[in-house]
Amino acid sequence: MDITPLDIQNRQFRVKFRGFDVKEVDAFLEQVAEALQAQAERMERLERALERSKREVAAYREREETFKSALVNSQTVMEQMKSNAKKSADLIIADAEVKAEKLLQRAHKRLSQLHEDIAELKRQRQQIESQIQSIIEIHTKILETGKEEMKAHDEQDDRLQLLNFPRKNPA
């Protein structure tokens, strides 16, 4: 038979001569009832927590099984992807090698053309340098001739100025 805190609170005792102090017994019963009530509430909370923990454990186990299954599936898929990636990489490498060879051939042709262009540009540069040198020499001669003519004109002007200025006699 289970005794509840309410059973303890409602329990009545007969009073006999030289019996227990009724107030003291009632106070004690009240304390016992409160303690039992607290224990019952605690027990109920623990049972609810235990039930919740059991549900969580069951859910975790179910998730674990799902994860295991997903892991096995993903490993299989990953192996297939690796195999496909390897094949694809081999094809890409072979294609790249062919393209690289073609590119290298074009680069050699372009290099050869560039060497020819450089030789032509050097020849043209030498020709232009010769032409510029000739032009500079012609202009230098023209400048020298111009300087000589200017010098001759200046000398003539100096003579004319000497002739044109009247001399003052110092008195």
pLDDT for res 156: 84
Q: What is the DSSP string of 124-166?
A: HHHHHHHHHHHHHHHHHHHHHHHHHHHHHHHHHHHHHHHHHSP
What percent of the chain lies above the pLDDT cut of 90? 61
Q: What's the mean pLDDT in 23-27?
A: 82
Q: 55-111 pLDDT, tens per residue? A: 999 999 999 999 999 999 999 999 999 999 999 999 999 999 999 999 999 999 999
* For residue 170, pLDDT beyond 70: no
pTM over 0.75: no
